């Protein structure tokens, strides 16, 4: 199993970081988040499509770059750092991984190339975003693939061309494909805390779905792990950006005739924060390597998700607190990262849920 990034992976990070710094500055993020769509289609086409980021983890045979969880994590981390707005998480991380892990061969061959090239925007419909054990509680499928039920929050559903749906049929959980505009499919954008990640309620009223695979417990767990690991990477990028800008601020802000960063109360908080982020970062990179190799702790992704979420929220809280009043204003950028941190903390399971999940894997249910 890998323990360090390869030169190619390091290069990928550098290239992606440079492109995002260029294309996704905070001013652009503010502009995009205020729109209904939430992002700039041309920029997404360029990065997701032309640069190949939407298919970074998709096998070459299905039109992707042939990377895996590690490469996906690198891209997610850099996107979290710049708070990139675009359907990367919904389409590549959620729908892409669902197709890779659970779709039958023919469906993969047919659907993945569009997602990988960015020409098709996918999303994954899960009727529970807290825990894999709750999935399938609301959205049902008949034996002929007719879908009914509601998913309360679906990431980027308002722009999706392809809905990959996990629904409960009589035989168990199955994977279904639905195209946008299908009869009986209703999408209602919801008011969200984090304006850089749009959510919609998706209702199926006897919608014709295409059965494309079965989702057994093991598959759903692996899918959940892949998504959680990618989200952990996003949070690490987010946390490091928050941390770096906050430390810089304490060096520039003067009170009582000294930079506030010279006060131990702030220095010690920053040192503790660095430790928390470094530990979470190590766990996060480790989780992707475990998933790529199929080795290591079976609960590696849950460790990463729990630790990254806590570290990211610590960085977000410190980011506001150490800036004082200015940090609480809309004009200051810190709240954008704070809100992403809060949203990511609870998407796909709170830290407490992931900690219980890891204990169950380690020691069995309580």
DSSP secondary structure, 10-39, as one string: HHHHHHHHHHHHHH--HHHHHHHHTSSS-S
Q: Please state, in angstroms and rounded to a whole number, the distance separating the CA atoms of residues 317 and 335.
A: 10
Least Å distance, CB 3 to another protein, is 6
50 or 244: CB nearest another protein:
244
- Say how many residues touch another protein, by CB under 8 A: 39
Should residue 221 be labelled a site residue for another protein when binding is judged by CB under 8 A?
Answer: no
150 or 350: CB nearest another protein:
350
Q: Please state, in angstroms and rounded to a whole number, the distance separating the CA atoms of residues 326 and 267.
A: 19
1 or 109: CB nearest another protein:
1
Backbone angles phi, psi at 362, to 5 degrees: -80, -45
Should residue 109 be labelled a site residue for another protein when binding is judged by CB under 8 A?
Answer: no
Least Å distance, CB 80 to another protein, is 18
Should residue 282 be labelled a site residue for another protein when binding is judged by CB under 8 A?
Answer: yes
Least Å distance, CB 2 to another protein, is 11
Q: Which of 362, 354, 222 is nearest to 292 (CA)?
A: 222
Summary count for the chain: helices (H), strands (E): 11, 10
| Coil, strand or helix at 186 | strand
Tokens representing residue 203 in the block:
């209702």
Least Å distance, CB 288 to another protein, is 12
Q: Please state, in angstroms and rounded to a whole number, the distance separating the CA atoms of residues 90 and 86.
A: 9
Should residue 232 be labelled a site residue for another protein when binding is judged by CB under 8 A?
Answer: no
Should residue 74 be labelled a site residue for another protein when binding is judged by CB under 8 A?
Answer: no
Binding site for another protein (CB under 8 A): 3-4, 247, 250-251, 258-259, 261-264, 266-268, 270-272, 274-275, 278-283, 285-286, 297, 303, 306-307, 352, 355-356, 358-359, 362-363, 366
């Amino acid at each position: 199993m890998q323990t360090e990034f390869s030169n190619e992976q390091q290069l990928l990070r550098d290239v992606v970081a440079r492109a995002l710094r260029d294309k996704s500055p905070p001013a652009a993020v503010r502009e995009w988040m205020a729109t209904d769509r939430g992002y700039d289609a041309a920029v997404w086409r360029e990065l997701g499509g032309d640069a190949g980021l939407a298919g970074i983890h998709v096998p070459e045979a299905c039109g992707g770059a042939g990377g895996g969880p590690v490469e996906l994590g690198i891209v997610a981390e850099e996107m979290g750092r710049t708070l990139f707005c675009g359907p990367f998480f919904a389409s590549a991380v959620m729908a892409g991984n669902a197709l890779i892990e659970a779709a039958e061969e023919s469906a993969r061959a047919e659907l993945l190339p569009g997602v990988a090239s960015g020409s098709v925007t996918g999303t994954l419909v899960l009727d529970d975003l807290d825990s894999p054990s709750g999935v399938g509680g609301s959205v049902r499928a008949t034996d002929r693939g007719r879908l009914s039920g509601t998913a309360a929050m679906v990431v980027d559903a308002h722009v999706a061309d392809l809905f990959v749906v996990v629904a409960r049929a009589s035989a168990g959980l199955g994977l279904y494909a639905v195209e946008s505009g299908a009869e009986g499919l209703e999408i209602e954008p919801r008011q969200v805390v984090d304006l850089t990640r749009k959510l919609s309620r998706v209702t199926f009223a006897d919608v014709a779905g295409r059965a494309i695979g079965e989702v057994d417990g093991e598959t759903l767990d692996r899918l959940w792990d892949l998504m959680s690991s990618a989200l952990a990477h996003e949070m690490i990028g987010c946390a490091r950006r928050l941390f770096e800008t906050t430390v810089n601020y304490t060096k520039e802000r003067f009170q009582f005739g000294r930079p506030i960063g010279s006060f131990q109360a702030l220095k010690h908080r920053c040192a503790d924060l660095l430790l928390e982020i470094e530990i979470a970062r190590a766990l996060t990179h480790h989780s992707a390597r475990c998933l790529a190799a199929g080795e290591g702790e079976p609960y590696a992704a849950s460790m990463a998700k729990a630790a990254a979420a806590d570290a990211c929220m610590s960085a977000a809280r410190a980011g506001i607190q150490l800036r004082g009043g200015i940090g609480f204003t809309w004009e200051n950028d810190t709240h954008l990262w704070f809100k992403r941190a809060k949203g990511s903390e609870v998407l796909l399971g709170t830290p407490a849920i992931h900690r219980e999940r890891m204990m169950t894997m380690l020691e069995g249910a309580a």
